[in-house]
Every structure is written in structure tokens, then in C-alpha cells.
A and B are shown apart, each in its own frame.
Chain A
Amino acid sequence: MIPPAFRWIIARRLARERPRTLLTLLGVALGVGVFVAVRLASTSALASFSGTVDAVAGKANLELASGTEGFDERAFTLARSVAGVRAAAPVVQVDALARPGAPAPPGRAGRAGTATSGAGAAVPAGAGRRHGSAANAPDEPRARSLYPDQVLVIGVDSFSEGPFQRFLAWDEPDSLPAEGSRALEFLSDPRAAAITRTLAARHGLGLGDSLTVLSSGRPLVLHVRAILESPALQHAYGGNVVVVDIATAQEGFNRLGRLDRVDLIVEPTRLDAVALELRRRLPADILVEAPAARSRQVENMVRAFELNLTALSFIALFVASFLVLNAVSMSVTRRRGEIGVLRAVGMTRRQVAAMFVGEGATFGVVGAGLGLVLGTLLARAALGAVSSTLSDLYLVYQARTLHPDASSYAIAGGLGVAVAVLAALVPALEASRTRPSSAMREGADVVVPRAALRAWTLAGLVLLGSAALIAAWTVRERRPWGGFLSAFVTVIAGSALAPGFTLALETLLGRPLRRLFGIEGALATGFLRVSVARTSVVVAALMVSVGMWVALSVMVGSFRRTVSTWVNQTIRGDLYVEPVGHRLNLSSTVLPDALVDSTRALPDVAAIVTYRGARIVYGGRPAFPARRDFDLQRRFGRLSFARGSGPEILRRALRRSEVIVSESFARHHRLAPGDSITLGGGEGRPPAARAPPARAAAITGQAAGTRLRVAGVFYDYSTDAGVVMMDRGLYSRLWGSRTESMAVYLRPGSDPDAVRERIIGLAGPELLLSVMPSRALRARALEVFDQTFRITYALQAIAILVAVLGVIGTLTALVLQRRREIGVLRAAGARRGQVIEIVMLESGLLGLIGALLGCLAGVVLALILVHVINTQYFGWTIRVRFDPGVFASAVLVMTAAATLAGVSPARLAAGRLAAEALREE
């Protein structure tokens, strides 16, 4: 039961002081809301992936899988023969664009594009998902309108599917084409497809209708022969699942003789033994794992991204805690007299503390409750941004629906309450120490003794030093949380320095303000001085917001400049050519050799650099091997290396069959030039688990466990998963020689548009190509970059909003507390306008001081973000540049916002309150 003292004193005050209560609640709600939104959006994106994995795995409890290159289909026969395997089913699986009905008219679609080179190629992953195009070419939105949807096409062997029971849930007799295990037999028709009920409904498709899918530039027309009713499949891949015969998929998607997976049902008691046996008998680049392991790999890959978003979402929650601290501090100050009376009539210290902790908890519980609702709404908006970024950066399916999970709500709600209670604890304990004898003066402010001020300042400096030590230790020891801890300690240090900084600036600005604004300026600074214990809390909150604002702007600005320089260095070809759909499937898309050769033969073409890339698992993390022609790269490209001369490294790598690795790959796997890695038959496994090379070669024809020396480390910002680049000869030995995209270098004086038309003409009407000028590709790369950070800006804006709410709340409370002084001012002849001016000056001054302290904190935080957190999680080198514009805008915006926040308290001070105070006197 809630004690009467709380109900009567705190609850009634909260209800009576509605604007202040609502401001604080709104702050907490925003903090919790942002946190829950980010968490829901990222967990939904991952849940969408793992949901798809589970749904298409059916009853399989083990699978054989590989990276995007797939593996030899003979592995299926081998797996089936292993004792303990009850059933095996081969699978080919591709992401494809889709449109209902017949293919788009080739004349229009043939010039459109959706793709670009992916993570393994020359430009940032996803850089072409929605690119611009040459002046006279249809652009990406056009291509999207022609093939508006994205589907997961699964090729299965109808004779093997029976025991897996994944595509057999025919609920409606009308759609039942056959019975029992023969249900998928209709798929022997090479154009037949079964589609989910969701996909059918989305496009109004029925039995007998056509659906065109496109994964590698060539449209494949399918006829809907069955509707899949399985509930799990309606959520897999957003409900967009198409099942076809495995031969159709292999032929239609360049997978002849290859499989993406073999799903197995193994006797549960023999699972480990079977897995061990399969690992022994199969080449080591085929991963033998439970289906859920795939979800875990993706989770590992996006963990850094998710963690950073979560850390950012903490900012709003952190700022909200200042709001609660501030609100409860104000409450304590204003009720100092009441506390004295309560202590005098028998309230114990514990009861006093509990009462104010209760106030904080009320803000926490109600604010968190509102925040959970707000967060769910925000999550719907954030899902698109988060999911699309994950899809662009990591090639994870884009989530369509939100999966609200109880743990996200519990964590966010619990954090909201905990943060509010912790924030209230400081003023609550301070209130409990109030002696009844010294507490009889109503509204007495807490005077900060000089000794306390010195202690706070000293503590701030010590903490700042500790933050530096933690950062240095993190960099040396590579501790995952050290960067965040260092940032947190910096923020606490800034908060401890706030009172001293406020007084120092007040002293510094006092005279100029007096000169500028006369007696009003002097009174404003005077008020600030006497209430420094309270105002420094709001200065600290502003410092946190501005600090993060400045730090993020510096980091993102520096990062963008670095990436822009890199993009300009890297994308140097005049035209980039790839099949439409390339971006979805990377290496499973193919540019025909004939097209590459005939393009090379064009008179205006000086050179062609072909690309190929794959996604593999290396050392338990996804990685992207990429193929380049090192000789051409040396002559035309401008790869920038961490150390050494680029052309020299490439020449040496070519001569000795060595690889070059991206900076993030080197950092994740602790590699330096001269070290070795094992690829093509051993990635992701400890050496002992590798299969003997002879056996591997017998099945796959690949070299197994090829040891490769690292010739150099190059700067790359396409993916933090890491890129291993090698010359075409070496790559072909490991993964074959197909080309998925190419860069075309033109002779001086050539017309890019004319060459572009020639290439499209060479491809013929059957192959849909994306031919992009490098300018468009570069623009798209930066567009992806900006989109990635858009959600960061949104989080930042909310943190600033919460801080401004804090200014309004603090000023209102200060004004209420000071009503007698204001009344005396009015009685002494101050005009209404003068009182308003004083309060707004004070407010603006608070904003200015908070912003200046925030700028200082921002510099430190930016250095931590770039040199510690980024290095630790992403492994990118960012050249830091402090843009004066960032600092100027932060100071101007925050000072203006704080001044405006003073309007309402100022009007209150000059109006009703002044009159009341005069009457009281």
C-alpha cells in the first residue's frame, strides 16, 4: 500500500504542478521510448532473419551450408549415406526481384538497374540499391516500379521433401494438388511454383497466374500451381516465399551442379556423432551446423551496429535521468520547509528519503509506461531505417513487420524506472540529511560551499584523467566495453565540473552582460550564482546533449569525409556494369564472359576490371573475399594502404600469390602484413577440424585449406565484416572464374553515354543490365552512408529535446522558488518587461554555459568515438577533423533553444506569481 505521507504530500504536489510533472514524464517517456524503439527495431530485423531460417528449415536439425558461392551437389549424396541421417534434402535459395505477370518490356527495363558491386567489390556494400543513373536512362525507382517486390526463391527436390514437412501445409482442399509426400510433385513442371498465401494476396495472384522473378539480369517466368498455407511461411521473408523445383532454380540462377544447402534430419541421439562424421568426410568450407547457427552468425555480424545504436539510445535515457534528478532536486529545495516540519513532527530520515525516491519512482513508472507505448510507435518508424541499413550493410533480409518482444519491454521499462530511482536517490538522500532546525525556512536554496565546489571540480578532473586511462587501456587490451565506459566516465566528469564551470563562466560573463543589458544582466547572473547547485544540474544535462551532438557530428563528419575521399579514390572506372539483381545475390549473379569480352573489344574502352565477391565465414565471422585484377588495379585503381606503396604491394602480391586484406579484417583477426590466413577450404575452422585436402578435392574440386600470406592492409569502408582481396588467378582457383560485375575505363575523349548504349545493346534484350556512370555510383555510396546515420541524428534530436525540456522545467521551478524576490523587484519598480528579460537572460545564459561545456566534452567524446569505440567495433581509420561550424551551430542552437525555453517561466514570473508574491509580503 502507498503510505499516506507519499499520497498526501508527493502525489498531490505532482498533480498540482502539472506542467512540471508532465515535462519530466515526457522526458522519461522519450528516453525510454527511444531505447525501446531502437531495441524493437533491431531485434525485429534479426527476428525476421531467424524466423525465415526456422520456417524454411522445417524439421531439419542439421544443415550443410556454405557462403554465397554454394558447394558441389555431390555433398548431398555423401551426406545421405552417413549412418544416422534419416533424411536429406538439397536446397538452392536465392533472393530475387519479382513482379506479378509477364516480364517487364525489355526496352524499358533493360536500361534500368537495382544493383551494384556488393561488399566484396569496389564500392561500399549496398551502394547501388537505389542509385541514380545516366541522364537518359531509366533510374532505380523505375526499375523498382517494374519489379516492385523482393522474394525468397527456394529450389527443392520434391522427392526428398516429404519428411521435412515444410511446404506441405495445404489447408484448403481447393489448393491441394496432390496428397501426402507427393504434394510437391507438380514442381517437376519446370515453370511451376508454389507461393505463400501472403504473397498471393499481396499481388492478387491465384492458381494459374504468372509471376516473374529476376535475380541475375534474366527474368524467369513462373506459373503459380499451389498456394502455401503453412503459418510459419507467412512470416518468413515477410511472407514472400516462392518454391520451385531445384533444377529450375539451378538453371535459372546460375547454380548448375551447385547447392546452397543440404538440410538433414538426423536421429537426435546421434546428432553430434553425425556432425563430426560429416565434418570429417566433407571439405571444410562446407559448414555442418544446426540451422540456428546461421542466425547466430548474422547476430555476430550486426552486433557492433546494434550495440552502437543501443549506446546512442542510452543518451536520451541518460539525459532523462538528469531531468528526474533536476525535478526531484527542485522538489526537495522547494519543500525544504515542509521537510523541516515533517522531521519536527516525527518523520524519520528513511521516510524522508523514501518519499523523494518515491517521487523519482513515480516519474520512472509512469514515464516508462508512456515510453513503452511511445517506443512501439517510434519502432514502427525506425524499423524501416534500421532494417534497410542492416540490409544495405550486411545483406540481411529487410524486415517488414515489428516483432514486439516482452524482454525488450521489460528491459526498457526496468531501465527507465531504475534510472529514475537512481537519479532521485541523490536529492532524496540530501533531503534526508536535512536537520529539522535548519529546515524551517521555506524555499531556502542550497548554497554550495567553496570547499564542496573545489571537491567537485577536483573529482571532475580526476574522472577525466580516469577516462583517458580507460581509453588507453581499452585500445591496448582491446576490451569491448572500455570505450563506452570511458565515454560514460567523461560524461560524469563533465557533470562534476558543471558547478565550477558555471561559476567560472558566470564570473567571466557577469561584467559584459551587465554592460550589455544593464541591471537586468547583473540580476540574471546574480540569480544564476545563488542557485548554482540547481542550475548546474541543468547545465550538466545540456552538456550531455551538446557533448554527444558535437561528438557525433565530428565523428560522422570526419567519417563522411574519409569515406568520400576513399570512394573517389576507389571508384575510378567510367562505367560500372552488372546484372539487375546483383546486389541481392552477389556472386550467384553472372555477367556472361561473351559480354565482358565484347565490351573489352569496343574501340572506346581502354580497360576492363572485373569483380567477383563472396560471403564466407572466417574465424566465426562473416567475411567477404573479393576478386580484382591486381595488374589493372595497380595501373588504374588507387587503393590506399595503411603502410607501404600500393602499386608495390600489389605487384608483390601478384608475383607471390598473396592477398591483401581490409583494415577491419586485419583488426578483427589480428593480422599484419606477413601473417597468413587459410581460405578456400578451411575458413572459420580451427586447423584440426579441417578435412584432408585430397578428400576435399575429390568432392568439390577445390583446393582445401589454402594458406595465403597477407601482403598488405588497405583502407576499406564497404563493410566492417572485412574484405580479403586477391588477384583473379588465385580467386579462380578457390571459387571459380565467373564475373559478377565490371568497371569500364574509357579512352580519353569517349562519350560515356554512347558506350553505355553500346554495352546495353551487346547484352541483348534478354539480359537486364545496370550500367552506371561512376559519378552516380559515388553519389549512391554517400547516400547509403547518410542513410546509415539518419537514425543517429534522430536519436540526437530527441536527446536535445529532452535537455531543453529540462531547461524549461528548471527555470519554472527556479522562478516559483524565487517568487518573493521577483515580487520585491516588481514592488521596487521593475517593469513586467524587465522581469521577463531577466528570466530569459538567465535561461539563455544557462544554455550558453551548457553548450560551451558540452563543446569541450564533445571534443573528448569525439576522440573516444573515433579512436576507441570505432576502432574496437568496426576497425576503421577515420581522419578526425573538427569543423568549427559544428561547434558554432551547437552553441547557437542551444543558447537560442534555452532562451526560448525561458519564455513561459518568464511570463509566469512577471504575471501571476509576482502579484501573488506581493500579496504574501
Chain B
Amino acid sequence: MTAREPDRAALGAEPPPEVAIRLIDVVREFGAGNTAGPDRPRVRALDGISLDIRRGERVAVVGPSGSGKSTLLHLIAGIDAPSSGAVWVAGRSLARLDDDALTVHRRDRVGIVFQAFHLLPTLSARENVALPALLAGAAEAATLARADALLEEVELSARRHAPPHTLSGGEMQRVALARALIREPPVLLADEPTGNLDSHAAARVLDMLVDLSRRRGATVVLVTHSREAAAIAQRRVEIRDGRLVGDPGGSGPAAPPGPRP
């Protein structure tokens, strides 16, 4: 892993099977202020990030607020697109996917857990969990049964019919975790999953995250600035001002061939 100058020749290079996520020279810029046109100032949220994450690896992305951590996660999730550079997830370049394919990517290949839970208020806990599978056209009864099983895994069987606003923060995040796993995605993304939780609830959610992802062999990318949360990761990647500044695990064997020094 590197924060050095990107190797442009490697852009578009398909990563080997053992690499679950590959970012090559990724830049993400946003417009700033209310003015329009070519003179509009641009803010560079990510500035040439190149990164490989191996299959089954648990990586924590850390850094101060506004450093670009969540932007990085959104790019991997296919929620956002880079201004330049390439993002590969589970063997596919996201740049080559149209909107429908990106939707399928979000639904089937990544599971996302948000800091603010983002459960739908009109749906019960089990319906929230079942939603991605139903959107994929899965049979309702079987999906709901599967949702119940997942809720049991996150120890919320008793609350499966509860609407979100009656759940505690920890419970809501466990529902969100179950929702993220219902499609058995190879990659699990968590954006400050414990940011809104007390320490006890946070510990429980983190335990479950580790346990469930390990059992499924999922790759986990965890964005956090909590020391406790980062501790569950096998590897820590630090971002400051949109650049990678630290990656102790970056010299591992599965590092991609292109961008390496």
C-alpha cells in the first residue's frame, strides 16, 4: 500500500483474485460554494489514493474528521464515483458499471453499515433486514425467514417486529448489520458504526461485526476514528487531507503489482 505517486500505467489493471478491493490513483473533487462555472473553487477530498485490500482482510481506515475516510468508503460502495482513478471491488472495475450495475454492486457485493443507521422508519426491524433481498426479487416468505435468522444472530429475535424508533441505538445498528449481510456480500463496509453508540453497545456491535464477517469470510473495511473500533482490524490505514499517510500492513504479500514501489 502506498501514498506515493501513482503509477498511471497500472490504471485499469485487473487485480489478482486474492485482492478484494483495489484503488488506483483515486481522486475525488467536490465543487465548493454557491458559484457556478469554471472558476468555481474545487475541494479535493481524496488526492491520489492507491490501495489494495486482500480477501477476508479487516482494514480500519482512520484519520481526523474531514480527512476523506467516508468518501473513500462511498467510492468502494459505489455510492459515489471518483473524479479520476480506478476502483476495483470483487474483481470488477466500478468505472465500467452503469447505474443499474452499480445498484446490483451495492445490493449484492457490498453490505453497508452507516453511522446514522439509516433504517427506514416505516419498516419493522425484519422488513428493514429483508429489504435488499426483496429489491433483488427474492421470494418474500423465504427472505423474511432469512431475515429472522439473521436477527437471531444479532440477538434481536424478540424485537423483529419493532419499528426502528422503538429500538435503542445499539439495536438499530445491529439491525443495520443484519441488513448489510442478508445478501451474503463478499465485502462489508462500515462507516463509523459505533459513532452514535455508548461504549457498551459499541463493543457489542463490534464483536458481532468481527464474528459475523469472520464466519462468512467477508472482507471488512471500517471507517472510524475510535481507537476501540480500529482495534478489531488486522490493518490500519490512515488518511490525512485526502492522502494516505500510514499503512503498516501495506507491504503484505497480496499487494498489487502495479502501484508498488
Chain A residues packing against B (C-beta within 8 Å):
3-5, 8-9, 12-13, 16, 337-338, 340-351, 435-437, 440, 449-451
Taken together as a complex, chains A and B put the C-alpha atoms of A342 and B127 apart, in Å, by: 13
Q: For the complex, is B187 an interface residue (Cβ under 8 Å from A)?
A: no
List, in ascending order, chain A residues with CB within 8 A of B166's CB. Answer: none
Tell me if A345 and B77 are in contact (CB < 8 A).
Answer: no
Knowing A345-B106, A345-B135, say if A9 contacts B123 (CB, 8 Å): yes
List, in ascending order, chain B residues with CB within 8 A of A437's CB. Answer: 74, 79-80
Taken together as a complex, chains A and B put the C-alpha atoms of A451 and B34 apart, in Å, by: 13
Q: For the complex, is B161 an interface residue (Cβ under 8 Å from A)?
A: no
Taken together as a complex, chains A and B put the C-alpha atoms of A734 and B241 apart, in Å, by: 101
Among B103, B121, B123, max chain A CB count under 10 A is at B103
Tell me if B106 and A436 are in contact (CB < 8 A).
Answer: yes
Taken together as a complex, chains A and B put the C-alpha atoms of A779 and B33 apart, in Å, by: 69
Taken together as a complex, chains A and B put the C-alpha atoms of A337 and B114 apart, in Å, by: 13
List, in ascending order, chain B residues with CB within 8 A of A440's CB. Answer: 116, 118
From residue A21, how far is it (CB to closest CB) to chain B in Å? 14
List the 7 closest A-B pairs by CB distance, nearest first.
A346-B107, A437-B80, A341-B118, A12-B122, A436-B79, A348-B103, A346-B132
Measured CB to CB, the nearest residue on chain B to A347 is B135
Taken together as a complex, chains A and B put the C-alpha atoms of A341 and B120 apart, in Å, by: 8
Secondary structure call for the A interface: helix
List, in ascending order, chain B residues with CB within 8 A of A341's CB. Answer: 114, 118-120
Tell me if B134 and A344 are in contact (CB < 8 A).
Answer: no
List, in ascending order, chain A residues with CB within 8 A of B135's CB. Answer: 5, 342, 345-348, 351
Q: For the complex, is B131 an interface residue (Cβ under 8 Å from A)?
A: yes
Partner of A348, one of B100, B112, B116, B130: B100
Measured CB to CB, the nearest residue on chain B to A438 is B80
Measured CB to CB, the nearest residue on chain B to A433 is B99
Tell me if A4 and B134 are in contact (CB < 8 A).
Answer: yes
Tell me if A346 and B106 are in contact (CB < 8 A).
Answer: yes
Measured CB to CB, the nearest residue on chain B to A1 is B140
Tell me if B122 and A16 are in contact (CB < 8 A).
Answer: yes
Q: For the complex, is B108 an interface residue (Cβ under 8 Å from A)?
A: yes
Those of B102-144 within 8 Å (CB) of chain A: 103-104, 106-108, 112, 114, 116, 118-123, 127, 130-132, 134-136, 140
Secondary structure call for the B interface: helix
Taken together as a complex, chains A and B put the C-alpha atoms of A3 and B140 apart, in Å, by: 9
List, in ascending order, chain A residues with CB within 8 A of B140's CB. Answer: 4
Measured CB to CB, the nearest residue on chain B to A436 is B79
Tell me if A343 and B122 are in contact (CB < 8 A).
Answer: no
Tell me if B120 and A347 are in contact (CB < 8 A).
Answer: no
From residue B148, how far is it (CB to closest CB) to chain A in Å? 15
Knowing A4-B140, A449-B36, say if A345 contacts B79 (CB, 8 Å): no
List, in ascending order, chain B residues with CB within 8 A of A9's CB. Answer: 120, 122-123
List, in ascending order, chain A residues with CB within 8 A of B77's CB. Answer: 344
Tell me if B100 and A344 are in contact (CB < 8 A).
Answer: no
Taken together as a complex, chains A and B put the C-alpha atoms of A8 and B129 apart, in Å, by: 13
Taken together as a complex, chains A and B put the C-alpha atoms of A853 and B180 apart, in Å, by: 50
From residue B194, how far is it (CB to closest CB) to chain A in Å? 18
Knowing A5-B135, A351-B135, A437-B79, say if A345 contacts B107 (CB, 8 Å): yes
List, in ascending order, chain B residues with CB within 8 A of A8's CB. Answer: 120, 122-123, 127, 131
Knowing A9-B122, A449-B36, A451-B36, say if A345 contacts B80 (CB, 8 Å): no
Name the interface size band of chain B. Answer: 20 to 34
Knowing A8-B123, A351-B135, say if A337 contacts B107 (CB, 8 Å): no
Q: For the complex, is B243 an interface residue (Cβ under 8 Å from A)?
A: no
From residue A239, how far is it (CB to closest CB) to chain B in Å? 56
New A-B pairs, 10, CB < 8 Å, besides A337-B118, A343-B103? A9-B123, A13-B122, A345-B106, A345-B107, A345-B112, A345-B132, A348-B99, A348-B135, A437-B74, A440-B118
Among A12, A345, A348, A451, max chain B CB count under 10 A is at A345
Taken together as a complex, chains A and B put the C-alpha atoms of A440 and B183 apart, in Å, by: 22
Tell me if A344 and B122 are in contact (CB < 8 A).
Answer: no
Taken together as a complex, chains A and B put the C-alpha atoms of A351 and B137 apart, in Å, by: 11
Taken together as a complex, chains A and B put the C-alpha atoms of A3 and B127 apart, in Å, by: 13
From residue B237, how far is it (CB to closest CB) to chain A in Å? 21
Q: For the complex, is B179 an interface residue (Cβ under 8 Å from A)?
A: yes
From residue B82, how far is it (CB to closest CB) to chain A in Å? 12
List, in ascending order, chain A residues with CB within 8 A of B179's CB. Answer: 345
Tell me if A349 and B136 are in contact (CB < 8 A).
Answer: no
Tell me if A344 and B120 are in contact (CB < 8 A).
Answer: no
Taken together as a complex, chains A and B put the C-alpha atoms of A8 and B161 apart, in Å, by: 13
Partner of B103, one of A5, A349, A449, A451: A349
Interface string of B73-90 (1 = CB under 8 A from A): 010010110000000000
Knowing A436-B79, A449-B36, say if A346 contacts B103 (CB, 8 Å): yes
List, in ascending order, chain A residues with CB within 8 A of B130's CB. Answer: 4
List, in ascending order, chain B residues with CB within 8 A of A13's CB. Answer: 122
From residue B43, how far is it (CB to closest CB) to chain A in Å? 15
From residue A917, how far is it (CB to closest CB) to chain B in Å? 15
From residue B108, how far is it (CB to closest CB) to chain A in Å? 7
Among A344, A350, A440, max chain B CB count under 10 A is at A344
Taken together as a complex, chains A and B put the C-alpha atoms of A226 and B224 apart, in Å, by: 99
From residue A453, how far is it (CB to closest CB) to chain B in Å? 13
Tell me if A344 and B136 are in contact (CB < 8 A).
Answer: no
Measured CB to CB, the nearest residue on chain B to A451 is B36
23 example contacts (A-B, Cβ-Cβ < 8 A) are as follows A3-B134, A4-B134, A4-B140, A5-B134, A9-B123, A12-B122, A13-B122, A340-B118, A341-B119, A344-B77, A344-B79, A344-B112, A345-B131, A345-B179, A346-B103, A346-B104, A346-B108, A346-B132, A346-B135, A349-B100, A437-B79, A440-B118, A449-B36
Taken together as a complex, chains A and B put the C-alpha atoms of A839 and B74 apart, in Å, by: 39
List, in ascending order, chain A residues with CB within 8 A of B79's CB. Answer: 343-344, 435-437
Those of B14-54 within 8 Å (CB) of chain A: 36
List, in ascending order, chain B residues with CB within 8 A of A5's CB. Answer: 131, 134-135
Taken together as a complex, chains A and B put the C-alpha atoms of A5 and B122 apart, in Å, by: 11
From residue A894, how far is it (CB to closest CB) to chain B in Å? 34
Taken together as a complex, chains A and B put the C-alpha atoms of A585 and B139 apart, in Å, by: 72
List, in ascending order, chain A residues with CB within 8 A of B131's CB. Answer: 4-5, 8, 342, 345
List, in ascending order, chain A residues with CB within 8 A of B118's CB. Answer: 337, 340-341, 344, 440
From residue A37, how far is it (CB to closest CB) to chain B in Å? 37
Measured CB to CB, the nearest residue on chain B to A447 is B34
Tell me if B36 and A344 are in contact (CB < 8 A).
Answer: no
List, in ascending order, chain A residues with CB within 8 A of B104's CB. Answer: 346
List, in ascending order, chain B residues with CB within 8 A of A451's CB. Answer: 36
From residue B172, how far is it (CB to closest CB) to chain A in Å? 13
Knowing A344-B106, A436-B106, say if A349 contacts B36 (CB, 8 Å): no
From residue A601, how far is it (CB to closest CB) to chain B in Å? 90
Among A346, A347, A436, A450, max chain B CB count under 10 A is at A346
Taken together as a complex, chains A and B put the C-alpha atoms of A340 and B130 apart, in Å, by: 17
Taken together as a complex, chains A and B put the C-alpha atoms of A483 and B119 apart, in Å, by: 52
From residue B34, how far is it (CB to closest CB) to chain A in Å? 9
Measured CB to CB, the nearest residue on chain A to B136 is A346
List, in ascending order, chain A residues with CB within 8 A of B114's CB. Answer: 341, 344
From residue A300, how far is it (CB to closest CB) to chain B in Å? 54
Partner of A342, one of B116, B120, B121: B120
Knowing A344-B106, A345-B132, A346-B108, say if A338 contacts B120 (CB, 8 Å): yes
Taken together as a complex, chains A and B put the C-alpha atoms of A436 and B130 apart, in Å, by: 19
From residue A308, how far is it (CB to closest CB) to chain B in Å? 46
Knowing A437-B74, A449-B36, say if A347 contacts B122 (CB, 8 Å): no
Measured CB to CB, the nearest residue on chain B to A351 is B135
From residue A778, how far is it (CB to closest CB) to chain B in Å? 65
List, in ascending order, chain A residues with CB within 8 A of B121's CB. Answer: 338
Taken together as a complex, chains A and B put the C-alpha atoms of A349 and B135 apart, in Å, by: 12
List, in ascending order, chain A residues with CB within 8 A of B106's CB. Answer: 343-346, 436
Taken together as a complex, chains A and B put the C-alpha atoms of A338 and B117 apart, in Å, by: 11
Taken together as a complex, chains A and B put the C-alpha atoms of A200 and B66 apart, in Å, by: 92
Taken together as a complex, chains A and B put the C-alpha atoms of A719 and B80 apart, in Å, by: 68
List, in ascending order, chain B residues with CB within 8 A of A340's CB. Answer: 118
Taken together as a complex, chains A and B put the C-alpha atoms of A348 and B116 apart, in Å, by: 22
From residue B228, how far is it (CB to closest CB) to chain A in Å? 25
Taken together as a complex, chains A and B put the C-alpha atoms of A449 and B106 apart, in Å, by: 30
